Structure 1
Amino acid sequence: MSSARQFDDQQLPRSATVAELPPRANNHLQQCRDDDDEQGQDPEDDDPHSHRRRPLPFRQRMKHFTWAWYTVTMSTGGLSVLIFNQPYNFPGLRGIGFAVYITNIVLFAAITAGLVARFALFPGTLKQSATHPRESFFIPTLLLSLATLITSTERYVVSSDNDPKVMVAVQWSFWAYMVVSTIVAVAQYAFVFSRHRLRLEHTMPTWILPIFPVMLTGTIASVIADTQPDIAAVPIIVAGLTCQGLGLSVAGMMYALMAGRLFSAGLPDREHRPGLFMCVGPPAFTALALVGMGNGLPDGLDANFDGVTDALMLRTMSVVAAVFLWALSFWWFGVAAMAVVMAPPRYFHLGWWASVFPNSGFTLATIALGRAMRCQPILDVATGMSAVVAVTYVFVLCHLIRAVWIQDIMYPGRDEDVEDT
């Protein structure tokens, strides 16, 4: 097999020719192709960008089954929650949402089994994936998938069951998720700071991912607080607000890096521009969480014990803050959409799912604001946004199936572990 490798995958298109590569990459790639010529091989047979690349057996392709596959389940889970929260209902809609919820559970189990198979078949790949400067950033998508499973389970299963044991199980799942996501965020960023030297001009939206699960703690709190007794709901909301603040603050620092990269180096390569939609998520999910946690406060809350009910004031403040954050999400959505329209990607990447999950949060935040302000036009717009998200999900899913079939992904040089191939 050719030792030709893709250089600087964050910047170069998959279809880059030798002339388009920087001198260092150009010299190395040419040397590898010369070696192939000496061995009597056609270098294009192993070029991951060539249509003549040789087919690989499925077992060998499993080596490139990466953590980024969890973007499928976090998007599917986000869609199931979005279906449940639709402002307009019709017969069968809840059944469709439940079917998507069950499908997400099956997909989550299948992807987990696939990763276990990869690590078992190819010893050492677990450590490589956890330390890889690109693939490791997708490890938190596992936690994001779990967050969507918790919230969708609350919507489709727990909300219709007042069993105290079920409520306690939900509480424990929330606290466990909060602890694990916080540990992962601290540990992963500390490791990146100590082991990798990432350049500003290579800043990518995936750098936000390690803090994203912490942020979703607030979203989970906003969903489960309504069904919890007051004595349990208030601590959950306080913890959720704390984690939401931490997540948004760190995401703000990542935004500063992203803006610096956009000003100094321009937009990412066309193949990675759908990832810009990831920037829509943090403010959108924070807006959703603030409105939800405000609604989850006990009606008789008197924080200062002065006889004045504080719940109404806090709910009003949460809506005002959510409007500000929604506007930031809208701006990032416009930037990402324009970037993709100007240069659509040629090849499928699992990063395409960034156009689904963050935009699901954006749409959910729109629905929450429409309900909080009792504004029918906003709910009408949110319904249209929901339809767009559903169509986008089907579009990306169809391209995913096609990409697996024609070996556009799960192939050396075409996945998030590209530097290891």
Structure 2
Amino acid sequence: MTGMTDLAHPPAAAFGLKPLASLASPREVVRQFTPNWFAATMGTGILALALAQFPAQVPGLHAVAEGLWLFNIGLFGLFTLLYAARWVFFFDGARQIFGHSVMSMFFGCIPMGLATIVNGFLAFGVPHWGPAAVHIAEALWWVDAAMALACGIAVPFMMFTRQSHSIDQMTAVWLLPVVAAEVAAASGGLLAGHLADAHHQLTVLITSYALWACSVPLAMSILVILVLRMAVHKLPPAGMAASSWLALGPIATGALGLLVLGEAAPAIFTANGLSDYGAAARGIGLVGGVLLWGYGFWWAAMAALITGRHLREGLPFNLGWWGYTFPIGVYAVATLKLSTLLPIPAFAVIGAGLVIVLALVWLVVGARTLRGAWRGDLFVAPCLKRAA
């Protein structure tokens, strides 16, 4: 199987201090750049947002969170330039991704990484720039929603028409293009209440509900197949171990989406003459969010056990390790959101613990990624090997 396992075997020449030692030339950074790098912006962005919601008062923590958000903007911009350059200068190689059964899934990382930046404009930008930050967030959100919907439709269509897949080779990366729409939906729930115009609020809210519906039911059906695949064909290889956490992503994001949309709905519906539906939306959001949170707990426990099993057998580093960060982060944020809606202190404690775990994982994965990028090990495009 080609995929993230192709990223796990650094050549011997890479073990020096010379930058990009494993690459034939610096141009290879562009030629080999793939969208799975955007998973780093997902992990960094969700850490910034989670730290900003940490339930305990820690001096300087909000400043650290804001700094991470600003750093993530720069990171997203750099990755966008590199990937755009690949399409300009290495078009024939870049288009090979459409036929690759794993790398094409990572298109979903691009809108999901952008969504964390959009949310950051609301969490960090509004205190500095006021309504201007909301306008920027709104414009970026519509771009993000369009990209997310495109990924959620185009990538599955390519799966159905031009790619080769089998159940025994299936992993949770199938979820990545699908989940992007519900991430945009959760962002829309946060954005809607900041808009000044009541009609615009309603448009964003209803669009967000539709995006949620385009993603969550499909993701749940993929999870059913994933459980069957692991029961029949057992665990994926160690190089794909981080993918076990990806299953937590759509569950946690689905819960967070219901919670934030349900919280925003009553005021927005009332402002648009639809007050009869506000209480129902809030109730569905809370109950649905709790149910999905419980389902997520099962997947988090299972992913932890799978990770422990792989650690005992040896776990090679690759960019797939960023798959540990975003699911843990969004589950932490959903947990902290529940702590603000329910008088149950345990949610705040669990949420705080998850944020600490997320920060530790981010430090480890970030350090390993910097090391691999410096050496050039991580600039590998499996779709080029497949085409060769």
Listed as ranges, the matches of 1:177-256 within 5 Å are 177-229=144-196, 230-256=198-224
Deviations, residues 281-308 of structure 1 (Å, cap 9, x unaligned)? 11101111111112212448459979x7
Q: Which fold has the larger relative contact order, with Cα–Cα distance below 8 Å and residues 6 or more apart in sequence?
A: 2
Mapped to 2, the partners of 1:56 and 1:178 lie a distance apart of: 36
Mapped to 2, the partners of 1:274 and 1:398 lie a distance apart of: 17
Partner of 2:306: 339
Mapped to 2, the partners of 1:329 and 1:320 lie a distance apart of: 14
Q: Do the aligned residues in 2 keep the contact of 1:300 with 1:309 (CA within 8 Å)?
A: no
Q: Do the aligned residues in 2 keep the contact of 1:10 with 1:202 (CA within 8 Å)?
A: no
Mapped to 2, the partners of 1:338 and 1:417 lie a distance apart of: 34
CA drift at 1:402? 2.1
Q: Do the aligned residues in 2 keep the contact of 1:284 with 1:361 (CA within 8 Å)?
A: yes
Q: Do the aligned residues in 1 keep the contact of 2:193 with 2:268 (CA within 8 Å)?
A: no
CA drift at 1:257? 2.1
Q: Do the aligned residues in 2 keep the contact of 1:206 with 1:275 (CA within 8 Å)?
A: yes
SS in 1 for 2:241: helix
Deviations, residues 270-290 of structure 1 (Å, cap 9, x unaligned)? 111111111101110111111
CA drift at 1:389? 0.3
Q: Do the aligned residues in 2 keep the contact of 1:11 with 1:268 (CA within 8 Å)?
A: no
Mapped to 1, the partners of 2:385 and 2:379 lie a distance apart of: 10
**Letter of the 2:123 counterpart:** R
Mapped to 1, the partners of 2:125 and 2:164 lie a distance apart of: 45
Partner of 1:401: 370
CA drift at 1:181? 2.1
Listed as ranges, the matches of 1:12-411 within 5 Å are 51=12, 55-59=22-26, 61-62=28-29, 63-158=31-126, 161-163=129-131, 167-229=134-196, 230-299=198-267, 301-302=269-270, 310-344=277-311, 345-411=314-380
Q: 1:9 aligns with which of 2, 20, 40?
A: 2
CA drift at 1:265? 0.7
Q: Do the aligned residues in 2 keep the contact of 1:135 with 1:417 (CA within 8 Å)?
A: no
Q: Runs of 5+ in structure 1 lacking a partner? A: 1-7, 16-47
CA drift at 1:148? 1.1
Partner of 2:18: none
Mapped to 1, the partners of 2:75 and 2:147 lie a distance apart of: 22
CA drift at 1:52? 6.2
Mapped to 2, the partners of 1:404 and 1:180 lie a distance apart of: 27
CA drift at 1:405? 3.6
Mapped to 1, the partners of 2:287 and 2:338 lie a distance apart of: 10
Mapped to 2, the partners of 1:13 and 1:148 lie a distance apart of: 28
CA drift at 1:387? 0.6
Q: Do the aligned residues in 2 keep the contact of 1:11 with 1:269 (CA within 8 Å)?
A: no
Q: Do the aligned residues in 1 keep the contact of 2:263 with 2:285 (CA within 8 Å)?
A: no
Percent of residue pairs bearing the same amino acid type = 21
- Distance change in 2, residues 1:224/1:349 (3 Å): same
Mapped to 2, the partners of 1:109 and 1:375 lie a distance apart of: 40
- Distance change in 2, residues 1:10/1:331 (3 Å): farther
Larger Rg: 1
Instruction: Between 52-61 and 227-236, report the one with greater CA deviation.
Output: 52-61
Instruction: Between 292-301 and 320-329, report the one with greater CA deviation.
Output: 292-301
Return the TM-score normalized by structure 1.
0.82
SS in 2 for 1:65: coil
Instruction: Between 119-128 and 192-201, report the one with greater CA deviation.
Output: 119-128
Which protein has the bigger helix share? 2
- Distance change in 2, residues 1:354/1:312 (3 Å): same
Mapped to 2, the partners of 1:302 and 1:116 lie a distance apart of: 44
Q: Do the aligned residues in 2 keep the contact of 1:283 with 1:328 (CA within 8 Å)?
A: yes
**Letter of the 1:87 counterpart:** P
Q: Do the aligned residues in 1 keep the contact of 2:100 with 2:383 (CA within 8 Å)?
A: no
Query: What is the aligned length?
Result: 378
Mapped to 1, the partners of 2:11 and 2:137 lie a distance apart of: 50
- Distance change in 2, residues 1:57/1:300 (3 Å): closer
Mapped to 2, the partners of 1:55 and 1:146 lie a distance apart of: 30
Mapped to 1, the partners of 2:46 and 2:269 lie a distance apart of: 31
Q: Do the aligned residues in 2 keep the contact of 1:10 with 1:268 (CA within 8 Å)?
A: no
- Distance change in 2, residues 1:159/1:255 (3 Å): farther
CA drift at 1:386? 0.5
**Letter of the 2:164 counterpart:** R
Mapped to 1, the partners of 2:4 and 2:184 lie a distance apart of: 33
**Letter of the 1:189 counterpart:** P
Deviations, residues 81-114 of structure 1 (Å, cap 9, x unaligned)? 1112222233312111110011001111221222
CA drift at 1:49? 6.3
Mapped to 1, the partners of 2:94 and 2:5 lie a distance apart of: 26
Mapped to 1, the partners of 2:272 and 2:22 lie a distance apart of: 68
Mapped to 2, the partners of 1:407 and 1:348 lie a distance apart of: 14
CA drift at 1:166? 5.1
Q: Do the aligned residues in 2 keep the contact of 1:10 with 1:269 (CA within 8 Å)?
A: no
Mapped to 1, the partners of 2:111 and 2:290 lie a distance apart of: 27
**Letter of the 2:140 counterpart:** S
Q: Do the aligned residues in 2 keep the contact of 1:14 with 1:347 (CA within 8 Å)?
A: no
